[in-house]
Structures are given as C-alpha cells and as structure tokens.
Structure 1
C-alpha cells in the first residue's frame, strides 16, 4: 500500500505539469514495470480461442501463443511489448534496461514468432483471431522496431517478420471483403485498426496497402456528417468511434480537404459531449475501467486532429485543451484500479504522450 501511495504521489506531481511535457525517466521507469510484470504472467488469462476439439481446448495460453500469452490477453501483451520498445528508445539509460532487454529478447525469437504466425489458419476460426485490434498493435510494434537505430531493435524486427507478414497477408485479403466499418468503441473498431495500418504501410513504403486503406477509409467515412457523438460513450468504451474515424481521415486527406470534411462532421453538442470527462465509477471492474482508456484515446485523437485543423477553427484550441485535461486527470489513476487496468492502460498513456503532436 505504501508503494502505491508513493507512486500515485509521483504521478500527481507529474500531472500537475502541462500534459505537453514529455515523460521523464522516473515516470517511464514506473510505467515500464507494468508490462515487464505482466508479459510473463500467464494468469489471469482470457484466450478468446475458439476450440476445434478437446485437444486444443485443453491447451494453456502459452501453448497456443508462445510469445503473447501474458497480460491477460494477446493484444495487451502485444502493446505491452510495443510500450517497452518505445520506452527503451526514448530512455536508453532506464535503470531496468537489462531486465527489459532480457524479457524482450526472450520474446523476439524467430522460432517463437513462426509458431505465433502458424496459429493464424491452424484452427477453424483462427484467421480472424484479433482482427483488427491485435493486428493493428502488432503492426505498431513492427513499425517501432523498424525505426530503432540500435542493432538489437533490428535483430528483433527481423525475428518477428514471419508474424508480421502473416498479419499483412490476412489484412490485405480481408479489406476488399469488408463491406461495412465497425463503429464500436472497443476492440473491433475499424478506424483505429486502419489508422495504425496506414502508419505501418507509410513507413514501409507499401503503396498498394496504403491505397487499399485510403480507399476503404474514404468509402466508410468521407460522406459522414453530423455525427451523433452526443450519444457517446457506451459503458465500456475505450475508443470514441467518431474521433477514431476523424483521426484516420486526418491521415488520408490533405489539410485543406480534411478541414472541409471536418466542418460538416460535428455539431456543437457532440463536441461538448466528447470534451466531457468520462465517469469511471469502479476501477476494479475490468469493463468499467475501459473508460480510463477512453480518456487516453480521446487525448491522442484530439491532439492529432488539432494539429491538422486550421488556426481559425475554434476546435483547434478546444481539442488541445481537452486533451491536456484528459491526460492530467487520468494519468494518476493508472495504479489505482488493480490488474484490470494495469495490464494495458500504461500503453495507452504512452501512446498519447509520445506518438501524437
């Protein structure tokens, strides 16, 4: 308990600063311990595996997934790995650097990644496993490794290519068949997945995939207007469906086209609702604590969108101000809800603080 109080005190002190302030090494160290703890923790676990038989129904999480078996579920393990990679890149002198490298080096073994890749297509429903939330974070992890200058990142990047290429092939096959977007505020949200896929394709110079993504994004969202965001959020949302779509369109449209599109996208009462702080009534509840994640994802979307809005748009400043408020209010809560938040929320916080303008 004393340790938790000390950690909260450090977070509260940090969060009294402007949310524009980058993470410092002390806070990065505190955050890094969360995925460092949960990546090798097999239980509690939610496998989401659809069994074909008694034989595979009896497999342990680590038998199904030799790398991404911890942190409660596959996708949380993936973005826990991403978070540790990004913290190593930002803070190469972290005091627990050796522990982080040991955990990551154990994960980024080519034979393990080949076994991870083989899972997709091995069972009846496994081709759709983690579509597209886990796929998106896997590409974000690959993107981070590809950009790393330290040889260890390049080694790890090469090791995970069997899995990366498997996900890319599945996504390219799926996109032409995806008739409608998923506008949920949780894992299957289409706009979130396409945004991360766009970033990966742009970095890798995969013009065919970029074209696929841009075409679908415009098909799904270009004609949207007067979005009813005043109805958001649902009770377990960690995404704003409308903001995620806008964050995607910010990528695929040039600045002038995006500003024209955005002028028709929201009415004032929707903006008011989006800028209101989500109420998290019980952080020990694994679903309700999702709403802390909503604060972080709203923050990164609002920052991203704000950077593309023209100076005369009043929402440019309002979104930036709201983003800071979400971060300031929610950062201290990361250690305040038990494993239901601890196994994933820090990744959302790091993305909001490091990856958006």
Structure 2
C-alpha cells in the first residue's frame, strides 16, 4: 500500500512540475512515461477487484475465475482496461525504449502474449451463447489499437507479440465485419458502446493494415449514421458517467471519413453555438473515489484528444481551430494531475487515456 501511495505522490508531483515548465500543451517525458507505466504494471497481473461482465450459460461456467475466463486480459478490473493497459505499455516501450522499468514491462507483456493464452482469449468469443457480443465495440476497438501498435513497431519482441495476437485480432475483425452491416442505428452514449469511438480505432487499424473492404464498410456506415446530422444536441452533454463526448467522437470519426473541405462544411452545421459553448467547459468531478463519477476525468482527456485531432483538420482561421486547441491544452493541464487519484476506480484505466491524449496527433 505504501509503495502505491508513493507512486501516486511521485506521479502527481511529476505532472505538476511538467506544467510549471511550459504554458503550451503538456508533453510526455521519459520520466513521466516511467511513472505512468507503473499503473498498468500494477493492475495487469492484479485479478481483484474484478468486473467480468460474463454471461453464464450454465452453472459450470458461472463459477470460473477471471483468469480462467480470460487467461491474458483478466486484470485491471475488466477486459477492456487490461487490453488498453497492454497498449499503453507497448506504446511506452516504443516511445522510450530505455525506460528504467523496461525489464518489468517486457516481463508482464511477454507473459500475456503467450500463444496459448491468446488462443484461450480467442476461443472465449465463440465458446458461449452470447460471447460473440462480449466487449462490443469498446473492447474490440482497443484490441485493434493494441494490434496496430505492435504491427507498427520494428522490434523483434514486437513482431513476436504481434504474431501471437493474430488469432484474436482476426476474430475481432470478423465479428465486427459481421456486426456492422446489421447495426441499423449507431450508439450515441458517452460510455463503452459508443459507435463512433469504436469506428475511429477500427478505421485507423483498417487503413494501417490495408484492409480495403473493412475500410470502405466503416466509411459507408459512418456516412449513413452521421453525414446528415445537424445541430447535434451537445448542449446536453455530459451524462453523469460519461468518459466520451458523443458529439466529439462523431466529429473525430468524420474528419477521417470525409475529405478536408467536405469535413469543414459538415462540422459548420454539426454544432450549434450552445453546443460548442458546452463541450468546451471543464467537466466537474465531485468525487474521485466513486468508480462512475471519476469517468468524467476520462471525459476531459478524450475531449482533449478529439479536439486536438479535429483542430488539425481545420484550416487556419476557422473559429474552432484555436478554440479546440486551447481547450484541449487546458483540459490536459487540469486533468493530468488527477490521473492517479489514489482510487482504483480511476487508477486502473485513466493512465491509458492520458497517454493517448498526450501522444495522439
């Protein structure tokens, strides 16, 4: 417990010192990367507490432990958090190959990416009556993000782990290509089932992997879901447990789907003045010990990465470009010191959101 407390204090002081050095957007440093890596290093092998979200077929699988259901991704409270914790460690190794805790990171990742464990993860998605729906589509999205991170890493270990992950990656891709044509309506919530968030990561993966048919399917469905959306009700955001902005996730997707000139026309009618005013306000987090309320710290981070990306797709002089850039910086500076709040409800996942917000171009 004291070790964890010391880690939290060090991370908090590190982030504060980082902000004191610069008035620009916060930047990831090697020291900060090492401290952030400690969070998934702690939770990936930590089976408890755990929220399995498993739907039992019979009494025999009702009593299975998390590591029996999910031999690789059983820690960090839930499957998707474990997956993006793995993504985070891979990303940090790629960015800073000489991290002081490099050996520990490799040990943890190598243990997870054993072929037999990934085989067990893959089989889960076909083994039970409802397991094909498991983690749809948030966990699916992070699995493809992890796969893409490994694929784009020119490193022997990365290549080995990438090869091990392929049965699960292909399973997820096949589940998605089966589901997406049947998904008549998008999910517009600010939590896990959000369709736009999932399609952002899926599209990035499909483009990177030159999966032309999957790419075209995603673009087609994205346009069908969102192209004619106008005056989106962003003035109602957020709900009390949101960690994603429904409107910004859509815009972050459409900047990838539409040519730049067409995207500018689209976003000009997508938001109202009231909506823009609302999503640029800092979410209020009243209790970081509450596992649901602390989601709102994640909302600030995901808003930041969406705004950074959207701003990069807008021409100079567009009214949202400067506004989104400065708002993203403020969200990061205000929220990063709370990434390790000392409560597992945030500690098991927020560091991944922080890293993505810091490094996403």
Helix, strand or coil at the partner of 1:237: coil
Aligned length: 356
Whether the 8 Å contact between 1:15 and 1:332 is mirrored in structure 2 is no
Whether the 8 Å contact between 1:19 and 1:328 is mirrored in structure 2 is no
Q: Which of these residues, 102, 106, 122, is aligned with residue 97 of structure 1? A: 102
Deviation at 1:110, TM superposition (A): 1.2
How high is the TM-score relative to the length of structure 2? 0.97
Deviation at 1:268, TM superposition (A): 1.1
User: In 2 relative to 1, CA 340–19 (structure 1 residues): closer, same or farther, beyond 3 Å?
Assistant: farther
1:273 equivalent in structure 2: 278
Whether the 8 Å contact between 2:125 and 2:134 is mirrored in structure 1 is yes
1:40 equivalent in structure 2: 45
2:14 equivalent in structure 1: 10
Deviation at 1:14, TM superposition (A): 1.1
Deviation at 1:312, TM superposition (A): 2.3
- In structure 1, C-alpha distance between the alignment counterparts of 2:277 and 2:112, rounded to whole Å: 44
Helix, strand or coil at the partner of 2:274: helix
> CA RMSD of the aligned region, Å?
1.0
Deviation at 1:149, TM superposition (A): 0.8
User: CA offsets per residue over residues 241-261 of structure 1, 9 Å max, x none?
Assistant: 000000000001010000010
User: In 2 relative to 1, CA 108–187 (structure 1 residues): closer, same or farther, beyond 3 Å?
Assistant: same
How high is the TM-score relative to the length of structure 1? 0.98
Q: Which runs of 5+ in 1 are unaligned?
A: none
User: CA offsets per residue over residues 278-328 of structure 1, 9 Å max, x none?
Assistant: 000000000000000000000000000000112121110000000000000
Whether the 8 Å contact between 1:15 and 1:331 is mirrored in structure 2 is no
Whether the 8 Å contact between 2:340 and 2:350 is mirrored in structure 1 is no
Deviation at 1:121, TM superposition (A): 1.7
Runs of at least 4 residues of structure 1 off by over 4 A?
A: none
- In structure 1, C-alpha distance between the alignment counterparts of 2:201 and 2:233, rounded to whole Å: 24
Residue 135 (structure 1) aligned with residue 140 (structure 2): yes
Q: Which runs of 5+ in 2 are unaligned?
A: none
User: In 2 relative to 1, CA 18–147 (structure 1 residues): closer, same or farther, beyond 3 Å?
Assistant: farther
- In structure 2, C-alpha distance between the alignment counterparts of 1:35 and 1:303, rounded to whole Å: 25
User: In 2 relative to 1, CA 155–226 (structure 1 residues): closer, same or farther, beyond 3 Å?
Assistant: same
Query: How does 1:142-221 map onto structure 2 within 5 Å?
Result: 142-221=147-226
Whether the 8 Å contact between 2:304 and 2:329 is mirrored in structure 1 is yes
